[in-house]
């Protein structure tokens, strides 16, 4: 749905709600995707959203609730009773229902679970509420299709028909034994092409990646990416099948992690959105701005120590921005490459010493090229000694900034701090100070 069409539809819906034009509202929204409806409702007031909800099919309402942002959904559900929330939960996948109820007050959550019509789903949601949001147990849904290893293909297909009524997406059929231990999976293609009397144990695949409930979400993402899976089964310590994690949940994790890393790399200390309050936006941005300011003051003070050198050779001041900018850029480049490697363990096959050796070789090559270009340029506009000082300092800055940008994220990762922090103002501020120290130290020695 285009932005122009969305804005036009929002205006029309506002007018339709005021005039209680049920026919227009139903006709405009009943065939729209839940994601688009959630985006539209995010621009309407709570009372208008509730009125629209009373006109839409129950399943569509449940899907829309799952697509709303957490903060928006939390405020929106305040106008619904516990019984109404319970009704929506009957139509919501267990993992989404657990996420929705986790955001509600304890009283509302308990009442909604007690008022649900589907007792089996209510019990499944209760089990999921025990898991943290950032682990495999918190990501998984209990809705899946499974078959006993001793069934025939005919029995299996009949059971799939029965189980599929409560499963929105049948991506694969998991094979279990009599104690619900996961043994493997069988594709729908094999079931369709096999004879009715064929046993499941003769056609299922035994090799299947799994995760346990305590696995971190980053591990889940890594496994699904590595094996190119659309759904990943979740088992307990004994290997009993508990649920599955689908690709849409993993995409959400990847998106959230990318947004968090981008914010950290840009010096934002909290997870914020553009529509957050002015105080929240300022609070998230101020810490690193203050650190950057302190770094700038220290840099200015550091330059003051070499005031006599600047008095003797005022032209040295012209190259201060070049030194600091080059050091910051080299450091960010190096740290970004390391952060990407840390995020993908399959690329971390080199040892620390091999990685440092490669960094040094790359830094030497880059430093020689950059220093040579600057030296040739300065010969036309400055004396030989100043050109030599700037080039030597620039080469040294490239070397040190490369090492700093490589080592810092590795150290942060070792102490369980997000290494993306190293790609932001931390590296820039540090390399600015180091670059100035190197520049004036070289100048002091050579002059």
How do residues 434-447 score in pLDDT, each as one tens digit?
Answer: 888 888 888 877 76
What is the domain partition of the chain in residue ranges? Answer: 3-139, 145-246, 278-446
pTM given for the model:
0.69
| Class of the domain covering 145-246 | alpha beta
Q: What's residue 212's pLDDT?
A: 94
Residue 273 main-chain phi, psi, to 5 deg: -120, 160
Q: Domain 3-139 adopts which CATH fold?
A: MgtE N-terminal fold (1.25.60)
What's the CA gap between 25 and 18, in Å, rounded? 11
CA dihedral 153, 158, 160, 166 (to 10 degrees): -170
**Contact yes or no for 136/211 (Cβ under 8 A):** yes
Q: What is the CATH number of domain 278-446?
A: 1.10.357.20
Mean pLDDT across 4-13: 78
Q: What's residue 149's pLDDT?
A: 94
pLDDT in tens, 163-203: 777 777 787 899 999 999 999 999 888 898 999 999 999 99
Q: What's residue 89's pLDDT?
A: 94
Q: What's residue 1's pLDDT?
A: 53
Mean pLDDT across 278-297: 78
Mean pLDDT across 57-85: 90
Q: What's residue 52's pLDDT?
A: 92
7 pLDDT above the threshold of 70:
yes
What's the CA gap between 176 and 145, in Å, rounded? 11
Q: What's residue 211's pLDDT?
A: 95
What DSSP line would sit under 202-247, residue for residue?
GT-B-----EETT-BHHHHHHHHHHTT-SEEEEE-TT-BEEEEEEH
């Amino acid at each position: 749905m285009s932005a122009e069409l969305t804005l036009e539809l929002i205006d029309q819906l506002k007018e339709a709600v005021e005039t209680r034009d049920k026919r227009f509202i139903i006709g405009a929204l009943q065939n729209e995707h839940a994601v688009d409806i959630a985006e539209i409702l995010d621009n309407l007031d709570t009372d208008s959203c509730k009125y629209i909800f009373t006109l839409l099919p129950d399943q569509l309402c449940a899907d829309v609730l799952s697509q709303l942002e957490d903060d928006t959904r939390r405020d929106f559900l305040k106008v619904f009773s516990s019984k109404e929330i319970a009704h929506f939960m009957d139509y919501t996948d267990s993992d989404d229902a657990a996420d929705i109820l986790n955001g509600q007050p304890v009283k509302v959550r308990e009442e909604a679970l007690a008022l649900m019509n589907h007792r089996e789903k209510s019990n499944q949601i209760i089990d999921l509420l025990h898991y943290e949001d950032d682990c495999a147990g918190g990501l998984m849904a209990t809705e899946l299709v499974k078959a006993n290893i001793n069934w025939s293909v005919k029995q299996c297909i009949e059971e799939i028909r029965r189980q599929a009524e409560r499963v929105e997406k049948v991506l694969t059929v998991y094979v279990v034994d009599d104690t619900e231990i996961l043994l493997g999976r069988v594709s729908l293609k094999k079931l369709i092409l096999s004879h009715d009397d064929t046993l499941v144990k003769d056609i299922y695949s035994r090799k299947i990646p799994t995760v346990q409930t305590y696995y971190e979400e980053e591990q889940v993402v890594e496994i699904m990416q590595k094996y190119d899976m659309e759904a990943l089964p979740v088992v307990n310590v004994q290997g009993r099948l508990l649920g599955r994690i689908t690709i849409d949940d993993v995409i959400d994790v990847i998106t959230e992690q990318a947004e968090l890393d981008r914010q950290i790399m840009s010096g934002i200390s909290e997870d914020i959105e553009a529509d957050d309050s002015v105080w929240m936006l300022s609070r998230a941005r101020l810490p690193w701005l203050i650190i950057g300011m302190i770094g700038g003051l220290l840099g200015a003070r550091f330059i003051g120590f070499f005031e006599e050198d600047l008095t003797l050779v005022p032209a040295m001041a012209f190259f201060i921005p070049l030194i600091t900018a080059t050091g910051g850029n080299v450091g960010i480049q190096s740290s970004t490459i390391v952060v990407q490697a840390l995020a993908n363990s399959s690329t971390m096959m080199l040892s620390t010493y091999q990685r440092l050796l490669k960094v040094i070789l790359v830094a030497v090559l880059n430093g020689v090229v950059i220093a040579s270009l600057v030296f040739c340029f300065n010969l036309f506009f400055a004396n030989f000694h100043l050109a030599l000082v700037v080039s030597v300092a620039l080469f040294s800055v490239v070397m040190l900034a490369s090492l700093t940008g490589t080592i810092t994220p590795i150290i942060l990762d070792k102490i369980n701090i997000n290494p993306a922090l190293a790609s932001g103002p931390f590296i820039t501020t540090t390399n600015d100070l180091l670059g100035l120290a190197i520049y004036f130290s070289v100048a002091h020695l050579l002059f």
